[in-house]
Amino acid sequence: MDGALIANVKVWTPSNQYLSSGSNFDLFSLIESENCQIIYQRISDGSIVTSEVLPLVIGVNKIEVPTRVPDAINVIASVDNTRINITPRRFGATRLTNFRDAGGLPLLEEGVMVRNRYYRSENLSKVDGKDIAFFGELGIKRVVDLRKPEEKLTAPTPNELRDKVTVVEVPISSKIAGFDDGLDAILTKKISSINSEDMAEMYLEILDEYSDSLIELAQQTIDFSNGSTLIHCTAGKDRTGMLVALIQLAHGVAKEYVYHDYLLSNAYRTPFRMESLGPTLQQNGIDFEKFKAYLSAPLEALDAAFDHLQSLSSQLTVSN
């Protein structure tokens, strides 16, 4: 459980809990102040359009927070006029499994990284009309696609979404053990296993080859002020993870929270990947455990690349 201390109140929320559409989660607060509120803010196109205030009583409160974003896109705890954003970074109002706010993380200095400005996810081929409307509510005006041309052909971004946003395409190759398509190499048994060291090597090769592109793209994303940006690749964990880490480090997010955000893909994306690929791997006599590092987000890979990422992030500037 994550806790945030404000004034004389401790507010606990489930840590990045998965929220399914229409469900609720509970906040439990031990209130000792007479001036405490929970504020639900609804956002449309990046601006607050409605704000509902729930006063709290002294003692223990059970608070049911609507999770059908955009009904309550921001959840604010206000105590004696001191506010803290306690909105879960994971949303349930989309079909995407790995979609989340890349902000809201504690900084090395005081405060937290801005929310509702940078989002991350897997590829967008499965989004429907509701998802696209939801993106509009969040103010997403720009999409950064890090996939190679062949990946886009297999899982194209719907034209309905392209009509609503600016799509910035910066193809980044992610060779693993010498192969352009790791999954194909696994299924055709050209690779016997992929471990964390292989993934670390892939990350370092990407940073060496694409450092200039990543720095330029990260700076453009930081400077974009006409709405929010959604960053994705195919699974939303490796290439997306490195670009997002650069942006987070530029904002001053503490190392452990950069790691925390990266590792969330193991909770959100990996189980669905295992479920969808499991039967195929089994039919081909392939042991999933031998390729788990490739199909998940291994801590060792980010750790190996972290110093490089931190060095690159020092070239970025954040004005606000």
Percent of the chain residues past pLDDT 70, beyond the cut: 72
Nearest to 218 by CA among 148, 170, 257: 170
Fold of 94-313: Protein-Tyrosine Phosphatase; Chain A (3.90.190)
DSSP-assigned states of every residue in 41-96: EEEETTEEEEEEEEE--SEEEEEEEE-STTTTSEEEEEETTEEEE---SB-SSSS-
Residue whose structure tokens are 């809201």: 104
Give 162-193 pLDDT, tens digit per residue. 999 999 999 998 888 888 888 888 988 999 99
Q: How far apart are CA 67 and CA 49, in angstroms?
A: 17
Tokens of 132: 């696209």
CATH 2.60.40 domain locations along the chain: 1-89
pTM for this model (two decimals): 0.79
Question: What are the C-alpha distances in Å from 196 to residues 138, 243, 291, 305, 309?
Answer: 35, 19, 9, 12, 18
Q: Are the C-beta atoms of residues 228 and 119 closer than 8 Å to each other?
A: yes
At 6, is the pLDDT very low, low, confident or very high (cuts 50, 70, 90)? very low
Q: How far apart are CA 269 and CA 235, in angstroms?
A: 7
Q: Average pLDDT for residues 91-97, to the nearest whole number? A: 71
Q: Average pLDDT for residues 228-253, to the nearest whole number? A: 97
At 81, is the pLDDT very low, low, confident or very high (cuts 50, 70, 90)? low
Q: How far apart are CA 252 and CA 219, in angstroms?
A: 14
Phi and psi at residue 13, to the nearest 5°: -135, 150
Q: According to the CATH classification, is domain 1-89 in 2.60.40? A: yes
Which helix (H) or strand (E) covers residue 9, if one does?
strand 9-13
Residue whose structure tokens are 């297999």: 154
Q: Any idea of the CA torsion for 240, 1, 137, 171, to the nearest 10 degrees?
A: 0
CATH 3.90.190.10 domain locations along the chain: 94-313
- The CA angle 257-258-264, to the nearest 5 degrees, is 85
Q: Are the C-beta atoms of residues 66 and 74 closer than 8 Å to each other?
A: no
DSSP-assigned states of every residue in 263-276: HHHHHHTHHHHHHH
